[in-house]
Structure 1
């Protein structure tokens, strides 16, 4: 039976995240593994994968349906429809109150709304995946920064200890010089 791969992360998990390796989420475990190996964590952003025909069509419909081009062209179409049926045609095909136009608009809305919602749902999924990736990158950066702080603290402590040792050597040397001077009678 092979050992739990998270068990090797236990010291790092306690040190950096304050919890046992068993309590780590998948993202936290992945981040700690990359931090220990000093490897790159960044992956391709969500949404770069190949889209199906339906997903691509939904994105195009949502893109066009939410544009000024669509709004302006639709307003022009409505004005032409109303103008043709009110003033230009002696036998209008859709007399006021434009029942056929209402039917067409209802069918358009009934089809367009779910397609736009499909596109928005896909975008929400991509946003959640990208947010999870951002979290992992930020967590790894935070762990790396804490590690750098520890290294700097260790270096500072070593430097201070070296300075203290040198100062102690100088004090000892001065003490010996003063004693020697006293022994030679220079202290009168």
Structure 2
């Protein structure tokens, strides 16, 4: 049995730019910083368009804001799902690699135990 290092396989999705970007996007969406920033933008949007008559660009009922939320959701959901799929695939491959590694270790331990028993038996005959 060869002495090879334990390594984890990479995702079959690869490290393509789109997949990596989807993962970064999903990671960003899950941060308090993003939620606070988006909340600030929404509050400012409503304040400007609800109170500042001279600056209004999306008057009540804020149709443009609603369109932006819908667009964000339309892109966010599939990108987050893609990132989750890639992560689940990495976890599966890691679990498979760990199982193979444990089998190799068990095989090596069994081999060493057989060798030890043979040595003990050999010593007993002398």
TM band (smaller chain)? 0.7 to 0.9
Query: Aligned pair 1:105/2:69, yes or no?
Result: yes
Query: Aligned pair 1:94/2:53, yes or no?
Result: no
- Secondary structure in structure 2 of the residue aligned to 1:153: helix
**Inter-partner Cα distance in structure 2 for 1:75 and 1:91:** 20
**Inter-partner Cα distance in structure 2 for 1:89 and 1:142:** 75
The unaligned stretches of length 5 or more in structure 1 are 1-34, 163-188
Structure with more contact order per residue of length (Cα contacts < 8 Å, sep ≥ 6): 2
Aligned twin of 1:31: none
Structure 1 residues 89-98 or 136-145, which shifts more? 89-98
The correspondence for 1:51, drawn from 1, 11, 15, is 15
The correspondence for 1:145, drawn from 105, 109, 112, is 109
TM-score calculated relative to the size of structure 1: 0.57
Aligned twin of 2:86: 122
- Is the 1:61–1:115 contact (alpha carbons within 8 Å) kept by the matching residues of 2? yes
The unaligned stretches of length 5 or more in structure 2 are none
Over the aligned positions, Cα root-mean-square deviation in angstroms equals 2.4
**Inter-partner Cα distance in structure 1 for 2:63 and 2:4:** 62
Aligned twin of 1:78: 42
Structure with greater Cα Rg: 1
Query: Aligned pair 1:131/2:95, yes or no?
Result: yes
**Inter-partner Cα distance in structure 1 for 2:19 and 2:57:** 37
**Inter-partner Cα distance in structure 1 for 2:116 and 2:17:** 54
How many residue pairs are counted as aligned between the two chains? Answer: 125
